[in-house]
Structure 1
């Protein structure tokens, strides 16, 4: 029996338990590390996708802005052309000798004014055409003072005098 007890004690001494505990802790540590690494990769992927989406949106805005600026430049050029034609008509109207010629010039001038009005309306509808249309002035809200203003105290100007 003594020999059996000694053999069992020797077997216990052969297998150290700290080795199993260390292996378990390392396995748990590797699992936690792998989880955080995977989570970090997912976060980076999400951030990259958001960045691509923002860049695509910014690109769309740049294209839209370029188109709007091009249209504003075209409208401005057309407005300048119409202004030039209006000045020429004014000069021709001043030099007109017959009434028929004067009436034809007045009709042409009315048509030109309609085109200018339509162009101004179009520029206002597009946000002022780059700020050159003068539509950046905003109306101030109308505020009215109370007719019967509330006064504290006896009306001597001291608000603490009740």
Structure 2
């Protein structure tokens, strides 16, 4: 009877040892699986972080390139407008000088006829018309330049606001990544403590904390995904406004040249007709300065 009991005890002890070995093997496999999943997750997060940083660098380079190109286009447009304005003024001055020379030639032939009084008023009206037209052109160009400057300042403000938004998103993403690193470190620490802890209450407490950390990691990853999913808003004025300003500036320059040319084309023939009607002597008296 004693031998039977000893055999049963030995068999029971062997069964307990086998069960303990099986439990230890299952626990070891579970920990190995968790470590592999954690390493895979860390590798994926590292790659995602590198991709996000690369995209941020590319976006900053793109913004800097667009800003430089826009400023270069604006400088070229200002230079083009200045050249067009100088050409228009030179043409106007040349035509006025030519007309003055022609009138001087007529004055030399006019000496002894009566002075037509009505010619003074007509020529004065022509001079006033030319002056008023030039003033209106100047005021128009001044208003357009002011509007262009206001548009440029507004675009700079929009660019600053967009850059601040990008910087804020990158700061939030960096904070979430740092928080995730701390959570993962704590999770690794808990996994090591579970390996070395046999107390059931302590193990339950660690497992509860592990589940809580997993929930926080999931929330952290969801926040990072939402931040990365936000599209970078392109600078609409960086592409649309320069071309629109170029078209507007070109149109303004063309209108200015057209107005000046039209004024000269209309006023000079009228002056010729008046001088021809008055005759050489009348032209001389009209152009000669009046003495008090």
**TM-score normalised by structure 2 residue count:** 0.37
The partner residue of 1:111 within 207, 212, 220 is: 212
Residue in 1 aligned with 2:169?
68
Within the candidate set 28, 35, 43, 2:144 is matched to 43
1:59-111 deviation per Cα after TM superposition (whole angstroms, max 9, x unaligned): 22222222222111111110111111111111111112222222211111000
- Partner residue, 1:80: 181
Equivalent positions of 1:90-129 (< 5 A) are 90-127=191-228
**Is residue 52 from structure 1 mapped to residue 175 from structure 2 by the alignment?**
no
Provide the alpha-carbon RMSD of the alignment: 2.3
Q: Secondary structure at the match of 2:228?
A: coil
Q: Which runs of 5+ in 2 are unaligned?
A: 1-112, 231-292
Q: Please state which structure has a larger fraction of its residues in helix.
A: 2
Range that drifts further, 97-106 or 30-39: 97-106
The structure, 1 or 2, with the larger RCO (C-alpha pairs under 8 Å, 6+ apart) is 2
- In the alignment, what sits opposite 1:24? 125
TM-aligned CA deviation for residue 20 of structure 1:
4.4
Partner of 1:33: 134
Q: Show the counterpart of 2:60.
A: none
- Which structure 1 residue ranges, 5 or more long, are not aligned? 1-11, 130-162
CA distance in 2, matches of 1:72, 1:86: 21
Distance between the aligned counterparts of 1:40 and 1:61, measured in 2?
32
Aligned length: 119
Offset at 1:17?
A: 5.8
